Structure 1
Amino acid sequence: MDFEHAEALNQAIRLLSLRHRARAATLLAPLGLHPGQEALLLELARTGPMIQAQLSEALGCEPPSVTLMTRKLEASGHIRRKPAPTDKRATIVELTDSGRALTDQVKQLWRALAEETVTGLPAHTVAEIPGLLKALTDNVGTRRPRHPHGHRDGE
Protein backbone atom coordinates (compact mmCIF):
# COMPACT_ATOMS: atom_id res chain seq x y z
CA MET A 1 0.00 0.00 0.00
CA ASP A 2 1.40 3.41 -0.86
CA PHE A 3 1.79 6.09 1.80
CA GLU A 4 -1.08 8.28 0.58
CA HIS A 5 -3.55 5.37 0.80
CA ALA A 6 -2.17 4.32 4.18
CA GLU A 7 -2.46 7.88 5.48
CA ALA A 8 -6.04 8.23 4.23
CA LEU A 9 -7.01 4.90 5.81
CA ASN A 10 -5.38 5.64 9.17
CA GLN A 11 -6.79 9.17 9.24
CA ALA A 12 -10.33 7.94 8.47
CA ILE A 13 -10.16 5.34 11.27
CA ARG A 14 -8.75 7.90 13.72
CA LEU A 15 -11.38 10.52 12.90
CA LEU A 16 -14.25 8.03 13.08
CA SER A 17 -13.04 6.86 16.47
CA LEU A 18 -12.69 10.41 17.83
CA ARG A 19 -16.02 11.62 16.46
CA HIS A 20 -17.92 8.51 17.54
CA ARG A 21 -16.56 8.82 21.08
CA ALA A 22 -17.38 12.54 21.20
CA ARG A 23 -20.92 11.94 19.93
CA ALA A 24 -21.36 9.09 22.43
CA ALA A 25 -20.18 11.43 25.22
CA THR A 26 -22.74 14.03 24.17
CA LEU A 27 -25.56 11.47 24.16
CA LEU A 28 -24.51 9.85 27.44
CA ALA A 29 -23.97 13.07 29.42
CA PRO A 30 -27.69 13.70 30.13
CA LEU A 31 -27.80 10.23 31.70
CA GLY A 32 -24.86 11.11 33.95
CA LEU A 33 -22.55 8.67 32.16
CA HIS A 34 -19.10 8.99 30.64
CA PRO A 35 -17.90 6.96 27.63
CA GLY A 36 -16.95 3.47 28.74
CA GLN A 37 -19.47 3.32 31.56
CA GLU A 38 -22.23 2.42 29.10
CA ALA A 39 -20.19 -0.56 27.89
CA LEU A 40 -19.85 -1.79 31.47
CA LEU A 41 -23.61 -1.50 32.04
CA LEU A 42 -24.40 -3.22 28.74
CA GLU A 43 -21.97 -6.05 29.51
CA LEU A 44 -23.59 -6.67 32.90
CA ALA A 45 -27.05 -6.56 31.31
CA ARG A 46 -25.91 -9.13 28.74
CA THR A 47 -24.07 -11.52 31.08
CA GLY A 48 -25.46 -10.92 34.54
CA PRO A 49 -23.22 -10.50 37.60
CA MET A 50 -19.50 -10.86 36.92
CA ILE A 51 -16.26 -10.87 38.84
CA GLN A 52 -14.62 -7.50 38.32
CA ALA A 53 -11.49 -9.06 36.76
CA GLN A 54 -13.67 -10.87 34.18
CA LEU A 55 -15.49 -7.62 33.48
CA SER A 56 -12.15 -5.94 32.84
CA GLU A 57 -11.23 -8.64 30.35
CA ALA A 58 -14.63 -8.54 28.64
CA LEU A 59 -14.42 -4.77 28.20
CA GLY A 60 -10.78 -4.80 27.08
CA CYS A 61 -9.93 -2.32 29.85
CA GLU A 62 -7.19 -2.30 32.43
CA PRO A 63 -8.40 -3.37 35.91
CA PRO A 64 -7.80 0.10 37.46
CA SER A 65 -10.09 1.67 34.82
CA VAL A 66 -12.84 -0.82 35.62
CA THR A 67 -12.34 -0.21 39.34
CA LEU A 68 -12.80 3.52 38.80
CA MET A 69 -15.90 3.00 36.63
CA THR A 70 -17.46 0.58 39.10
CA ARG A 71 -16.85 2.94 42.02
CA LYS A 72 -18.58 5.79 40.19
CA LEU A 73 -21.49 3.63 39.05
CA GLU A 74 -21.85 2.19 42.55
CA ALA A 75 -21.87 5.70 44.07
CA SER A 76 -24.68 6.65 41.69
CA GLY A 77 -26.63 3.53 42.64
CA HIS A 78 -26.50 1.77 39.26
CA ILE A 79 -24.39 -1.22 40.29
CA ARG A 80 -23.61 -3.13 43.44
CA ARG A 81 -20.23 -4.66 44.34
CA LYS A 82 -19.80 -7.46 46.83
CA PRO A 83 -17.07 -9.94 47.73
CA ALA A 84 -17.15 -13.19 45.78
CA PRO A 85 -18.24 -16.04 48.09
CA THR A 86 -15.44 -18.34 46.92
CA ASP A 87 -12.63 -15.76 46.82
CA LYS A 88 -12.77 -12.80 49.20
CA ARG A 89 -10.14 -11.00 47.08
CA ALA A 90 -12.51 -10.99 44.08
CA THR A 91 -15.41 -8.59 43.73
CA ILE A 92 -18.70 -9.45 42.03
CA VAL A 93 -20.36 -6.61 40.15
CA GLU A 94 -24.09 -6.61 39.37
CA LEU A 95 -26.72 -4.18 38.14
CA THR A 96 -29.23 -2.66 40.52
CA ASP A 97 -32.82 -1.89 39.49
CA SER A 98 -31.63 1.64 38.74
CA GLY A 99 -28.82 0.23 36.60
CA ARG A 100 -31.23 -1.97 34.64
CA ALA A 101 -33.48 1.03 33.94
CA LEU A 102 -30.47 3.09 32.89
CA THR A 103 -29.27 0.29 30.64
CA ASP A 104 -32.61 0.39 28.80
CA GLN A 105 -32.02 4.09 28.13
CA VAL A 106 -28.44 3.38 27.03
CA LYS A 107 -29.73 0.78 24.55
CA GLN A 108 -32.03 3.38 23.00
CA LEU A 109 -29.17 5.87 22.69
CA TRP A 110 -26.87 3.19 21.28
CA ARG A 111 -29.41 2.34 18.57
CA ALA A 112 -29.79 6.02 17.72
CA LEU A 113 -26.00 6.49 17.54
CA ALA A 114 -25.58 3.45 15.30
CA GLU A 115 -28.36 4.63 12.98
CA GLU A 116 -26.88 8.14 12.88
CA THR A 117 -23.43 6.72 12.11
CA VAL A 118 -24.57 4.66 9.10
CA THR A 119 -27.12 7.12 7.69
CA GLY A 120 -27.13 7.04 3.90
CA LEU A 121 -25.27 3.76 3.54
CA PRO A 122 -26.89 0.85 1.69
CA ALA A 123 -28.27 -1.93 3.93
CA HIS A 124 -25.82 -4.50 2.53
CA THR A 125 -22.89 -2.23 3.45
CA VAL A 126 -24.28 -1.66 6.95
CA ALA A 127 -24.62 -5.43 7.38
CA GLU A 128 -20.92 -5.90 6.54
CA ILE A 129 -19.54 -3.19 8.82
CA PRO A 130 -19.42 -5.15 12.12
CA GLY A 131 -17.45 -7.97 10.51
CA LEU A 132 -15.06 -5.57 8.80
CA LEU A 133 -14.45 -3.61 11.99
CA LYS A 134 -13.92 -6.81 13.98
CA ALA A 135 -11.33 -7.96 11.42
CA LEU A 136 -9.56 -4.58 11.65
CA THR A 137 -9.64 -4.73 15.45
CA ASP A 138 -8.29 -8.28 15.45
CA ASN A 139 -5.52 -7.27 13.03
CA VAL A 140 -4.40 -4.40 15.21
CA GLY A 141 -4.64 -6.45 18.39
CA THR A 142 -2.70 -9.48 17.19
CA ARG A 143 0.10 -8.04 15.07
CA ARG A 144 3.56 -7.49 16.38
CA PRO A 145 5.20 -4.19 15.43
CA ARG A 146 7.07 -4.35 12.16
CA HIS A 147 10.51 -3.06 11.58
CA PRO A 148 10.43 0.00 9.28
CA HIS A 149 12.04 -2.08 6.50
CA GLY A 150 9.37 -4.78 6.64
CA HIS A 151 11.14 -7.22 8.98
CA ARG A 152 9.50 -8.24 12.21
CA ASP A 153 11.38 -7.53 15.43
CA GLY A 154 13.82 -10.28 16.28
CA GLU A 155 14.20 -11.48 12.68
Structure 2
Amino acid sequence: MNSTTSFKLNPLNKIIGLSIVLSMGFLLVVLAGIYGNWFPIIIGIVFAFAHIPIIVSNVLSEGYGDYDFNFDTTSSNSPNAAKEVGLFLSAFLLISALSLPVLLHHSRILTTTAMVLTIIGGGLIYGTVYTFSSFFRDEEEEELEDIGGGVI
Protein backbone atom coordinates (compact mmCIF):
# COMPACT_ATOMS: atom_id res chain seq x y z
CA MET A 1 0.00 0.00 0.00
CA ASN A 2 1.00 3.54 -0.62
CA SER A 3 2.05 5.61 2.39
CA THR A 4 -0.62 8.26 1.67
CA THR A 5 -3.31 5.57 1.44
CA SER A 6 -2.37 4.10 4.82
CA PHE A 7 -2.36 7.63 6.28
CA LYS A 8 -5.94 8.23 5.13
CA LEU A 9 -7.20 4.84 6.35
CA ASN A 10 -5.73 5.09 9.84
CA PRO A 11 -8.58 5.60 12.34
CA LEU A 12 -6.32 7.53 14.70
CA ASN A 13 -5.81 10.20 12.05
CA LYS A 14 -9.57 10.54 11.65
CA ILE A 15 -10.00 10.98 15.40
CA ILE A 16 -7.22 13.57 15.55
CA GLY A 17 -8.73 15.47 12.63
CA LEU A 18 -12.17 15.46 14.25
CA SER A 19 -10.64 16.69 17.52
CA ILE A 20 -9.05 19.61 15.69
CA VAL A 21 -12.38 20.52 14.09
CA LEU A 22 -14.10 20.27 17.50
CA SER A 23 -11.53 22.57 19.08
CA MET A 24 -11.97 25.07 16.25
CA GLY A 25 -15.74 25.03 16.87
CA PHE A 26 -15.28 25.71 20.57
CA LEU A 27 -12.74 28.43 19.76
CA LEU A 28 -15.27 30.19 17.54
CA VAL A 29 -17.94 29.97 20.23
CA VAL A 30 -15.58 31.35 22.88
CA LEU A 31 -14.51 34.13 20.52
CA ALA A 32 -18.17 34.99 20.03
CA GLY A 33 -18.47 35.27 23.80
CA ILE A 34 -15.67 37.84 23.89
CA TYR A 35 -18.00 40.42 22.37
CA GLY A 36 -19.41 41.14 25.83
CA ASN A 37 -21.91 38.34 26.29
CA TRP A 38 -21.84 34.78 27.61
CA PHE A 39 -24.91 33.51 25.72
CA PRO A 40 -22.81 32.03 22.87
CA ILE A 41 -21.11 29.68 25.32
CA ILE A 42 -24.49 28.35 26.49
CA ILE A 43 -25.54 27.93 22.86
CA GLY A 44 -22.29 26.03 22.17
CA ILE A 45 -23.10 23.67 25.04
CA VAL A 46 -26.57 23.09 23.58
CA PHE A 47 -24.96 22.27 20.22
CA ALA A 48 -22.59 19.84 21.96
CA PHE A 49 -25.42 17.99 23.73
CA ALA A 50 -27.94 18.06 20.86
CA HIS A 51 -27.00 14.60 19.56
CA ILE A 52 -27.12 12.89 22.98
CA PRO A 53 -30.90 12.04 22.83
CA ILE A 54 -30.35 10.10 19.58
CA ILE A 55 -27.49 8.12 21.11
CA VAL A 56 -29.52 7.33 24.25
CA SER A 57 -32.61 6.34 22.28
CA ASN A 58 -30.58 4.05 20.01
CA VAL A 59 -29.10 2.32 23.05
CA LEU A 60 -32.54 1.98 24.65
CA SER A 61 -34.18 0.62 21.51
CA GLU A 62 -31.39 -1.89 20.92
CA GLY A 63 -31.49 -2.91 24.58
CA TYR A 64 -35.12 -3.96 24.35
CA GLY A 65 -34.22 -6.66 21.84
CA ASP A 66 -31.95 -8.45 24.31
CA TYR A 67 -34.43 -8.68 27.18
CA ASP A 68 -37.77 -8.74 25.38
CA PHE A 69 -39.06 -12.30 25.06
CA ASN A 70 -41.98 -11.31 22.86
CA PHE A 71 -41.24 -12.78 19.43
CA ASP A 72 -44.03 -10.91 17.66
CA THR A 73 -42.34 -7.81 16.21
CA THR A 74 -45.59 -6.05 15.35
CA SER A 75 -46.95 -5.92 18.93
CA SER A 76 -44.02 -4.11 20.54
CA ASN A 77 -43.80 -0.42 19.65
CA SER A 78 -41.55 0.74 22.49
CA PRO A 79 -38.24 0.67 20.53
CA ASN A 80 -39.78 2.75 17.74
CA ALA A 81 -41.28 5.15 20.28
CA ALA A 82 -37.92 5.54 22.02
CA LYS A 83 -36.21 6.32 18.72
CA GLU A 84 -38.90 8.83 17.77
CA VAL A 85 -38.64 10.64 21.10
CA GLY A 86 -34.85 10.77 20.76
CA LEU A 87 -35.08 12.18 17.24
CA PHE A 88 -37.65 14.76 18.34
CA LEU A 89 -35.59 15.95 21.31
CA SER A 90 -32.43 16.12 19.22
CA ALA A 91 -34.16 18.09 16.48
CA PHE A 92 -35.68 20.42 19.08
CA LEU A 93 -32.27 21.12 20.62
CA LEU A 94 -30.60 21.61 17.25
CA ILE A 95 -33.25 23.98 15.88
CA SER A 96 -33.26 25.89 19.17
CA ALA A 97 -29.49 26.22 19.10
CA LEU A 98 -29.57 27.43 15.50
CA SER A 99 -32.34 29.95 16.02
CA LEU A 100 -31.31 31.33 19.40
CA PRO A 101 -28.32 33.35 18.08
CA VAL A 102 -30.58 34.88 15.41
CA LEU A 103 -33.17 35.75 18.05
CA LEU A 104 -30.54 37.27 20.35
CA HIS A 105 -29.13 39.27 17.43
CA HIS A 106 -32.58 40.52 16.54
CA SER A 107 -33.03 41.59 20.17
CA ARG A 108 -29.69 43.44 19.96
CA ILE A 109 -28.12 41.26 22.64
CA LEU A 110 -25.57 39.71 20.25
CA THR A 111 -23.63 41.51 17.57
CA THR A 112 -23.66 40.29 13.99
CA THR A 113 -20.13 38.92 14.34
CA ALA A 114 -21.02 37.04 17.52
CA MET A 115 -24.11 35.57 15.85
CA VAL A 116 -22.15 34.32 12.84
CA LEU A 117 -19.31 32.94 14.98
CA THR A 118 -21.79 31.15 17.23
CA ILE A 119 -23.68 29.53 14.35
CA ILE A 120 -20.51 28.43 12.52
CA GLY A 121 -18.82 27.21 15.70
CA GLY A 122 -21.95 25.39 16.84
CA GLY A 123 -22.29 23.75 13.44
CA LEU A 124 -18.71 22.52 13.70
CA ILE A 125 -19.36 21.20 17.21
CA TYR A 126 -22.56 19.36 16.24
CA GLY A 127 -21.01 17.99 13.06
CA THR A 128 -18.05 16.66 14.99
CA VAL A 129 -20.21 15.00 17.66
CA TYR A 130 -22.38 13.43 14.92
CA THR A 131 -19.32 12.20 13.02
CA PHE A 132 -17.72 10.79 16.17
CA SER A 133 -20.87 8.84 17.01
CA SER A 134 -21.32 7.52 13.46
CA PHE A 135 -17.61 6.65 13.26
CA PHE A 136 -17.77 4.44 16.35
CA ARG A 137 -21.15 2.96 15.40
CA ASP A 138 -19.82 1.92 11.96
CA GLU A 139 -16.68 0.48 13.54
CA GLU A 140 -18.74 -1.75 15.86
CA GLU A 141 -20.90 -3.00 12.97
CA GLU A 142 -17.82 -3.91 10.93
CA GLU A 143 -16.44 -5.95 13.84
CA LEU A 144 -19.73 -7.83 14.22
CA GLU A 145 -19.90 -8.70 10.54
CA ASP A 146 -16.47 -10.36 10.56
CA ILE A 147 -17.16 -12.72 13.47
CA GLY A 148 -17.07 -16.34 12.32
CA GLY A 149 -16.71 -15.53 8.65
CA GLY A 150 -14.82 -18.16 6.65
CA VAL A 151 -13.70 -20.27 9.60
CA ILE A 152 -13.69 -23.94 8.63
TM-score normalized with structure 2 length: 0.35
Task: Return the structure number with greater strand share.
Answer: 1
Task: Return the structure number with greater helix share.
Answer: 2
- Tell me which of the two structures has the higher relative contact order, counting C-alpha pairs closer than 8 angstroms and 6 or more residues apart: 2
